[in-house]
Amino acid sequence: MWTGRIKSFRDAFRGLWYTIRTQQNAQIHLIITAFALSFGAYVGLTATEWCLAFVAVALVLGAEGLNTAIEELTDLVSPDYHPLAGRAKDVAAGGVLVCAICAAIIGVIIFGPHVAALFHP
């Protein structure tokens, strides 16, 4: 029973690592995440702000993982160019873009007052 569960987690971490290692946008998202979380620690986010920040991070990284899966699967089933394959990839990338824009808006809402407080104590 536990062997199957442990294998599932190992597979999931392998997929996460593949995404981080091979997808430049995922790497950019992680750099922004590290900066945001470090800045959050510096300014002392509230528990609610931390929760919202982590939800935003999870949303973007999760969407990036799904986008990577869709791209890989599309390349498998359609190695040659096909308009529908291209559309599937574009739609998946658009989903990541929506998540990233929402995360940025959440970031502005969370961090805006903290940044303002640094300049106007």
Q: Which residues are catalytic?
A: 64
Its sign, for the CA torsion 7, 8, 13, 16, is positive
Q: How far is CA 76 from the centre of its chain?
A: 24
Please report, as a single letter, which amino acid is at residue 58. Answer: A
Q: Which long-range contacts (CB under 8 A, 24 or more apart) does 94-98 make?
A: 95/63, 95/66, 95/67, 96/25, 96/60, 96/63, 96/64, 96/67
